[in-house]
Structure 1
Amino acid sequence: MSGASSPGGLDGSNGLKRVSTGNKRKDLPKNLSMVSIMGLSFAIMAVPFGLSTTLALSLTNGQSVTVLWGWVLVSLISMGIAASLAEICAVYPTAGGVYYWAAMLSTPKYRAIASWITGWLTLVGNWTVTLSICFSTGQLFLSAITIFREDFVPNTWQTVLMFWAVMAVCTSVNAFFSKHLNLLNTICMIWTAASVLILLIVLLVTARHRNTAEYVFAHYDASLSGYPSGWSFFVGLLQAAYTLTGYGMVASLCEEVQNPHKEVPKAMVLSVLMAGLTGVMYLIPLLFVLPEVNIILSVANGQPIGLIFTLVTGSKAGGMGLLALILVIALFAGTGALTAASRCTFAFARDGAIPGSRLWSQYNYRLNVPLYGLLLSSAICCLLGLIYFGSNAAFQSFVGVATICLSTSYGFPILVNILNNRKAVQKSTFSLGKFGYAINIATVTWIILSVVLFCMPVSIPVTAAGMNYASVVFMGFAFISVVWYVIRGRKTFNGPEEVFIEGVDQFTADDEEHAQVEKKQQK
C-alpha cells in the first residue's frame, strides 16, 4: 500500500520498530545465504518426515505404485513449478513473494485484487502447512509411547496438548535463535542426509522379511480406498504433493539474502531436486521391508512409522532409535515452516492486508525477527488445532488445505505470466528459455487438478469423522478475506507498496504510463 502508513519511532523498551511503507523503508538485515535458504526449503519439505506421516494416505490408495511412482511424478511436476517461480523470483525478489509477483505481472487495473487473492492464499497456505507439520509431529511423539506401551491410545486432549507443546518449541526457537538460522538450516541438511543413510542401512540389514522387487516397483492395490482404481492413484498423490510444498515459501525471506535475484531462485530449484532424490532413497528400502499393510493402517493415531521401524528391526529400542531421527527432522521442519509463515505474515501486514496490520508489521531488530507476526502465526495454528476435537481426520484436512492454498498461490502468478506472453521474464537471470511455455502450462494444469483431488476424502464411503474438511477450512479463510476486503481492502489496498515505489522501474513499457496515472490518482 503506497504511503498509507507513517513510520513509527524506535521503542527502547522492547526494541520494536515500525517498518515504514514509504520510500524511506528500512531494509531487513541480510543475514542469510543461498545455502541457508536451500536448507530452509529442504527443512520445510522434510522428506523422510513428510513421507512417513502421510504414508497411510498412499497405502490406502494404491500402495507401492502410488508411494514410489507417485513420488517420482510429483517430484518432476514440483521441479517445473519451482523453476517457473524461480524464473519470476529472479526478476522480482521481495518478501512479498507470490502475492507481489501476481501484482507485478498483472495489468494496473487488476493489480490490487490479484495481489489480495494471491496474498491470502499464500498466507493461509503458510499457516496451515506449519499447522500440519507441527500437528503430525505431536502425533509422532505420542506414537513413540505406543512402541513401549502397545495398549496406549492417545486421546484428543493429549494429542492437542502435545501439538501445542511442539508449537511452543518451534515458536521459541524462531523468537530467540533467529540469528542462528544459517547454522540451524545447515545442520538440518546434514542431519536429514545422515538420517536417510542410516535408515537405508539399518532397515535393509535388520529386516527379517523382504518384499520382492515386483512388489516394490509394480504392486498396485486400490481396494482399500473404495475409489475406482485409476482415480485412487491420483487421490493418493496427496502424500507426495504435501511433502513437496515448501519451496515457494522461502521467497518470503528474499529481503534477508544478499543478491536474492540469483541466490533464492537457485535455492528453490536445488532444494526440490535434493528432496526428490532423498525421497527415492528413503522410499525404496522402506517398501522392500514394509510389513503387512492392514497392520500398518490399524494404528489408532494414524502415524504408523514407529510401528514399522519396530516390526522391521525386531526391537523396541531399534524402532525408537530410528523414530528419533525422524522426530528431529520434524522439529527442524516445524521451525522452518514457522519462520517462513512469520515472514509472510509480516510482509502482507506491511501492506495493510491483515486486520491489525499496524501491530503485525512491527519488526523486532533486537531479536532479528518479526515478533508479532511470529506470535500471530503461532496462535492461529494453535487455534486451528482445535478442529481435532470435532474430527479424527483433522490432520488430513490440514494437509489438504495447506497443499491447495500453496499450490494455487504458486499457480496464480505463473498463469498471469502465461497470459502476458511471458514478457516480464524475458530478461530473467533464471530463464526457462524455449521450454518456458510448456513448463508453465503443464504446472498450471496440474495445480487445477490438484485442487479437486485434495478436497477428496482418503477413502469412501465417507463418515462425518473421516470427512476431509479441507474445503471447509479453505472457505472459512476465504470468507474472512472477502469480509476484510469489503470493510477495508477495497478502500485502502493498492497492492504491495513496492508496486508503486521500488518496482516502478521493473514495469514493462506499456505499464509505466498506467502506473504514473494511478500514483497521481492516489495523491
Structure 2
Amino acid sequence: MDASRRGSAMQADQALARLGYKSELPRNLSMLSVLGLSFAIMAVPYGLSTTMYITLTNGQAVSVLYGWIFVSLISLCIAASLAEICAVYPTAGGVYYWSAMLSTPRWAPLVSFIDGWLTLVGNWTVTLSINFGGAQLILSAITIFNEDFVANAWQTVLCFWAVMIVCALVNAFGSRYLDIINKLCIYWTGASVIIILVTLLVMAKDRRSAEFVFAHYDASASGWPEGWSFFVGLLQAAYTLTGYGLVAVMCEEVQNPEREVPKAMVLSVAAAGLTGVLYLVPILFVLPDVQMLLEVANSQPIGLLFTIVTGSKAGGFGLLFLILGILMFAGIGALTASSRCAYAFARDGAIPGYHLWKKVNPKLDMPLYALILSTVVDCLLGCIYFGSSAAFNSFTGTATIALSTSYGVPVLVNLVQRRKAVRHSVFSLGKFGTVINVICVVWIVFACVIFCLPVSLPVDASSMNYASVVFSGFAAIAFAWYFSYARKNFTGPPVDREAMDTVDGVMAAPHSPTEDLGDEKVVKSNGSKSR
C-alpha cells in the first residue's frame, strides 16, 4: 500500500474510532469494488430471470416493464436517503448504527436492536433466496436437454447446499480477492446483457409487436383483481433491487467511506435500473407463449425461453450459463454482506453467542465464525422447501420485507428528528430531502403488505406465501433474546452522544478523553467499549 493510501486508511480508522469501534478489517476495497458488490447482490439479469414467473402471472408485459421502472425510481429515493445518512456515520453497523445515532438516548437501544435484527434477517434471507433460486435455475438447465426431468425436493435442497458451500469457501479463502471479484462482476454482467440482447434479437424467428411490449396487460392467471395484480407483481422488481443498502456493512473495508460508499449506493441503483430496461425490453419482444412458460417445473422458465428463441438447446444453455455466472457473483457477494452484518451486530452483544460471532480470523482477515453462522442458518432455512413448493416466493418476500423495513427505520427516525443530523452531510439531499424520505417510508409500509401475499389465487398449504411466517419466526427469536438478555445488557452502539459533533458531515472527535487499554480503546459513554 503506498503512502497516500496508508494515510487515507489511517484517517478512516481514526474516524471509526471516534464512532466507537476499533478497526479490525483491512481497507483494501475501492468505490468501484463496492459498486460491484452492490451490483452483484442485485444481480439484475439473474434476479429478473428467477422471478419472471411473478410478473408473467400478474400482468405480463406492463407489469414486467413498468413495474421495473416504477420500483427503480422508488429505490433511487431509498438509496439516496440511506446514502445521505451513511456519509455521516460510515460504519459496518450500517442502518442498525444509524438508527441508534439518529434516535434519542432513551430509545436508541430498542430502535437499534429492532433494526439490527431486521437487517440481519434481511441479509440472511436475501442470500438464501439468491442461492436457492440459483439451485432451481441450475436444475432447470437439465430440462433443456431432458424435457422429462423434474427435480424433487431433495435434489433441489442438496443443490442449494452445494451452492452455499461454494460461496462460503470463496468468502473464507478468497477474501483477499473480493476486490477483484466484485469488479469482475460489473464486466461479466454488462457483457452478459449485451450478448443476450444481441443473440435473442438476431436469432428470434417470431417477434412481438411494440403494442404488446409497451401496452399488453393480462392478469387472468393470477386470480387477483386486475388492478391489484399489478402491485402483487412488483415483488419481482423490489426483490431484485434490494442490495444497495447492504453495502454499508463494507464501510470498514473502504478508504474514504463517507464519500465512496454513499456514491456506490446511488450509482448501483441507477446502473441496475438501466441494465434492467436493456435486459427486459428485448425479452418482451421475443417472448414465447406465456402459458407454456408458466407450466415449467420449479417456476424457472428462462432456460426454456432462451432455447425456444434461439432454436437451439446449446444456444439456450449458453445464454443460461451467462445468467448462472451472475448467480455465483450474487451468491458470493450476498454472503459477504451477511457475514459482515452478523459480525457488526455481534460485536455489540445483540446476537446469542456473540462472543464467537464477533471474532475476526487473523490469518484470513475476515469474520470466519460470522460467515459460518450465516451459511448454516441459510442451509437450515432451505429445508422449508420440503414442506412448501412455493418456498422461493416466501424467501424473496421475507428478504424484501425485512430489508425494506430495515432501510425505512433510520429514514423514519431521521424525519421525526427533522433531519437535523444530516444537515451537513457530504451527500446532502438539500430541500428535496423531506419529500424523498416521505416517499421512502410510504412505499415501505405498502410493500410490507403486498409482499406477504401469494403470487396467485387460489392457494393451498404447498403454494402459500410463508413470508410472514418466516418473518414472525425471526421476530420471536429477537424478542426472546431481548427480554432474556438484551433488555438489561444491550445499550446499543458504543457512542458518546454528548461529546460528539459533526463537521462537514463526518463525525468529529469526542470531546471526552479516551483511555488506551492495550489493543482496545474505551470510549467513556454508558460504559461501552469499542469492540
Report the TM range for the smaller structure's normalisation.
over 0.9
User: Which residue does 2:3 correspond to in 1?
Assistant: none
Match of 1:464, as an amino acid? A
Question: Taking structure 1 as the reference length, what is the TM-score of the superposition?
Answer: 0.93
Residue of structure 2 aligned with 1:201, choices 194, 198, 201 = 198
The DSSP-based 3-state class of the residue aligned with 1:109 is: coil
User: Which residue does 1:479 correspond to in 2?
Assistant: 476
Counting only pairs closer than 5 Å after superposition, residues 221-300 of structure 1 correspond to structure 2 as 221-300=218-297
Match of 1:69, as an amino acid? Y
- Contact 1:23–1:501 under 8 Å retained in 2: no
User: Which residue does 1:504 correspond to in 2?
Assistant: 500
- Contact 2:25–2:366 under 8 Å retained in 1: no
CA-atom RMSD, angstroms? 2.2
User: Which residue does 1:131 correspond to in 2?
Assistant: 128
Residue of structure 1 aligned with 2:139, choices 123, 137, 142 = 142
Residue of structure 2 aligned with 1:54, choices 47, 51, 56 = 51
Distance (Å, rounded) in 2 between the aligned partners of 1:361 and 1:315:
50
Match of 1:181, as an amino acid? L
User: Which residue does 2:113 correspond to in 1?
Assistant: 116
Q: Structure 2: which 5+ residue stretches go unaligned?
A: 1-16, 512-522
- Contact 1:64–1:218 under 8 Å retained in 2: yes
Match of 1:344, as an amino acid? C
Distance (Å, rounded) in 2 between the aligned partners of 1:151 and 1:505:
66
- Contact 2:491–2:526 under 8 Å retained in 1: no
Match of 1:141, as an amino acid? I
- Aligned-pair distance for 1:23? 6.5
User: Which residue does 1:15 correspond to in 2?
Assistant: none
Distance (Å, rounded) in 1 between the aligned partners of 2:201 and 2:56:
20
The DSSP-based 3-state class of the residue aligned with 2:360 is: strand
Cα distance change of structure 1 residues 520 and 55 upon mapping to structure 2, 3 Å threshold: closer
Match of 1:213, as an amino acid? A
- Aligned-pair distance for 1:491? 1.0
Aligned-pair identity (%): 66
User: Which residue does 1:345 correspond to in 2?
Assistant: 342
The DSSP-based 3-state class of the residue aligned with 2:107 is: helix
- Aligned-pair distance for 1:500? 3.1
- Determine if the alignment matches structure 1 residue 85 to structure 2 residue 82: yes
User: Which residue does 1:445 correspond to in 2?
Assistant: 442
The DSSP-based 3-state class of the residue aligned with 1:30 is: coil
Match of 1:28, as an amino acid? L
- Contact 2:24–2:360 under 8 Å retained in 1: no
Distance (Å, rounded) in 1 between the aligned partners of 2:96 and 2:498:
15
Cα-to-partner distance string for 1:262-298 (whole Å, 9 max, x where unaligned): 0000000000000000000000000000101100000
Residue of structure 2 aligned with 1:165, choices 159, 162, 166 = 162
The number of equivalent residue pairs is 499
- Aligned-pair distance for 1:463? 1.0
User: Which residue does 1:25 correspond to in 2?
Assistant: 22
- Contact 2:67–2:234 under 8 Å retained in 1: yes
- Determine if the alignment matches structure 1 residue 407 to structure 2 residue 404: yes
Residue of structure 1 aligned with 2:152, choices 129, 150, 155 = 155
- Contact 1:191–1:329 under 8 Å retained in 2: yes
Question: Taking structure 2 as the reference length, what is the TM-score of the superposition?
Answer: 0.91
Distance (Å, rounded) in 2 between the aligned partners of 1:521 and 1:38:
36
- Aligned-pair distance for 1:506? 4.5
User: Which residue does 1:67 correspond to in 2?
Assistant: 64
Counting only pairs closer than 5 Å after superposition, residues 205-216 of structure 1 correspond to structure 2 as 205-216=202-213
Residue of structure 1 aligned with 2:486, choices 466, 484, 489 = 489
Q: Structure 1: which 5+ residue stretches go unaligned?
A: 1-19
- Contact 1:21–1:351 under 8 Å retained in 2: no
- Determine if the alignment matches structure 1 residue 306 to structure 2 residue 312: no
- Contact 2:57–2:219 under 8 Å retained in 1: yes
Distance (Å, rounded) in 2 between the aligned partners of 1:22 and 1:46:
32
Cα-to-partner distance string for 1:419-458 (whole Å, 9 max, x where unaligned): 1111000000001011101100011100000000000000
- Aligned-pair distance for 1:106? 0.2
Cα-to-partner distance string for 1:160-210 (whole Å, 9 max, x where unaligned): 000000001100100011101111011100000000000000000001110
Distance (Å, rounded) in 1 between the aligned partners of 2:23 and 2:325:
36
- Aligned-pair distance for 1:462? 1.4
Cα-to-partner distance string for 1:43-78 (whole Å, 9 max, x where unaligned): 000000000000000110000000000000000000
Distance (Å, rounded) in 1 between the aligned partners of 2:222 and 2:498:
51
The DSSP-based 3-state class of the residue aligned with 2:26 is: coil
Match of 1:407, as an amino acid? S
Distance (Å, rounded) in 1 between the aligned partners of 2:264 and 2:294:
36
Distance (Å, rounded) in 1 between the aligned partners of 2:318 and 2:249:
35
Distance (Å, rounded) in 1 between the aligned partners of 2:73 and 2:229:
20
Distance (Å, rounded) in 1 between the aligned partners of 2:223 and 2:362:
54
